[in-house]
Amino acid sequence: MTPSEARREAPAERQCSTPHARPREAAARTGLYIVPIRAYATAVIPFAEGTPVEITRRTDYAIRILIELARRGADAPLSVKAIAVAQEVPYAFARGIQRDLVAAGLVVSKRGATGGIALARPAAQISMLQIVEAIQGKVSVSVCSNDPGWCSRMGGCSVHKVWCEADRLVSAHLASHDLATLASAEEREERVG
């Protein structure tokens, strides 16, 4: 069963991904479903902001779209179709991502024959963290680091501090990489390769 099929079918029994938590209450709060993929494997399907980090294809496409905008400069808006072709992003995906990027204030949109999208601010002022959070929501490696009521062991759990520190490290790492640096690195790689 694919994750999208699992979302559509919404299993009747919600379960938590950890044995020590209160399964029904925790799953209801976090919006997670444990979905069997095979007899021996499960997948955590996130439905709420702040669920475990996985860089989705949608986020990867958003990064590629923004890199293309950064590489082309701010002379004029670029059509979403031209960006989609240049970065090998399905056009339907690109249109949906455009809306998210506009809503997050990362790009501006102009309608009409000469319309398209352009970066809302200089590429050096847009971090990977901002892009990931615009598409996926807050970065988190564990649900418990964002939802104190998620686990019954929260008060005395030594692992909780580790997850919070991991969140901080991942966020700091993503924040340390800006779009301008990524775009220039991609241009260098194309020249070499």
Residues in Cβ contact with 126 at an 8 Å cutoff, skipping those fewer than 6 apart: 66, 70, 106, 119, 178, 179
Phi, psi of 104 (to 5 degrees): -80, -5
Decide: 146 and 152 in contact? Cβ < 8 Å.
no
15/38 Cα distance (integer angstroms): 17
Which DSSP symbol is given to 49?
A: T
Show the domain range for 121: 57-136+174-192
Averaged over 10-16, what is the pLDDT?
Answer: 38
H/E run at residue 159: helix 158-175
CATH number of the domain at 112, please: 1.10.10.10
Regarding whether 121 and 30 lie in a shared domain, the answer is: no
Is residue 38 pLDDT above 60, yes or no? no
106/184 Cα distance (integer angstroms): 19
Regarding whether 178 and 126 lie in a shared domain, the answer is: yes
- Count: domains in the chain: 2
**pLDDT 10s digits, 139-163:** 888 777 777 677 777 677 888 888 8
Regarding whether 61 and 37 lie in a shared domain, the answer is: no
**pLDDT 10s digits, 69-105:** 999 886 679 999 999 999 999 999 999 999 999 999 9
To 10 degrees, the CA torsion angle through 47, 93, 8, 53?
-30
